[in-house]
């Protein structure tokens, strides 16, 4: 499933009183894994940035003066998010600003039904404690040491990692050793995994293996799957 993790920075805290967007950052995830596709734009808000906001994100009037208007990036932004669910920390804040910008240029708002609010998820999972993004990074051992100021893309990247932990979707990473008897699972135990004395019969047919090999061949010159595929039968025969 495709989802978009989104964050914004603004001139202030109140979209209803004229505060505007100054930055939008989005990270695409598919089946809870980042794909590497991002959207990031700074925006000229056509008004002064409050000093309190500059202290948070560091985006000054001078820096934003030559940036595009929201109307100039809106089509690209909407094309990137498509109809995917939007994962946002304190979603009512960010979507309020985005919909205010859409309203200014007479475009329909983004429905709030598309929002997945990680702040609400965190409050349900960790009641009675602070659930700011920095707190969640610390709780889930996510390195945010490079976050000296808020930034829409950086915060979206961190939130993508937090989101996976919040919903319990992070899988233990595997350390693959040359001897399968020495496979260890990080995050669970350092003891070697026990192996069956009699291996299970393979469930894949030769035809299915060949179909998979043919598919991998369409993925480019050096698809990562080649690192895990066994050699084809002809290569095994030649080696022996």
As annotated, the active-site residues are 150
33-42 and 86-88: which strand pairing?
unpaired
Separation CA 40–CA 30 (nearest Å): 18
Residue matched to tokens 């109809």: 83
Measured CA to CA in angstroms, residue 188 lies from 6, 58, 177 at distances of 31, 40, 17
CB contact at 8 A, 97 and 21? yes
Within 10 angstroms of residue 170's Cβ, the number of other Cβ atoms is 15
Position of tokens 């100039």? 72
Longest dimension (CA), the chain: 76
């Amino acid at each position: 499933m495709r989802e978009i993790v989104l964050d914004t920075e603004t001139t202030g805290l109140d979209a209803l009183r004229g505060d505007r967007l100054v930055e939008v950052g989005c990270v695409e995830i598919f089946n809870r894994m980042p794909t590497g596709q991002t959207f990031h734009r700074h925006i000229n808000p056509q008004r002064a940035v409050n000093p309190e906001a500059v202290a948070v994100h560091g985006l000054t009037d001078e820096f934003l003066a030559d940036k595009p208007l929201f109307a100039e990036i809106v089509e690209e932004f909407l094309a990137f998010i498509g109809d995917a669910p939007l994962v946002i920390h304190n979603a009512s804040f960010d979507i309020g600003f985005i919909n205010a910008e859409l309203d200014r240029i007479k475009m329909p708002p983004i429905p709030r039904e598309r929002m997945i609010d990680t702040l609400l998820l965190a409050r349900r999972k960790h009641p009675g404690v602070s659930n700011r993004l920095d707190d969640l990074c610390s709780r889930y051992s996510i390195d945010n040491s490079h976050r000296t100021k808020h930034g829409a893309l950086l915060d979206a990247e961190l939130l993508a990692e937090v989101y996976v932990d919040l919903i319990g979707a992070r899988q233990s990473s595997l350390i693959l050793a040359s001897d399968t008897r020495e496979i260890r699972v990080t995050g669970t135990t350092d003891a070697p995994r026990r192996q069956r004395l009699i291996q299970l019969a393979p469930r894949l047919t030769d035809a299915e293996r060949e179909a998979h090999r043919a598919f991998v061949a369409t993925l480019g010159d050096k698809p990562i799957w080649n690192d895990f595929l066994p050699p084809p039968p002809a290569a095994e025969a030649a080696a022996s």
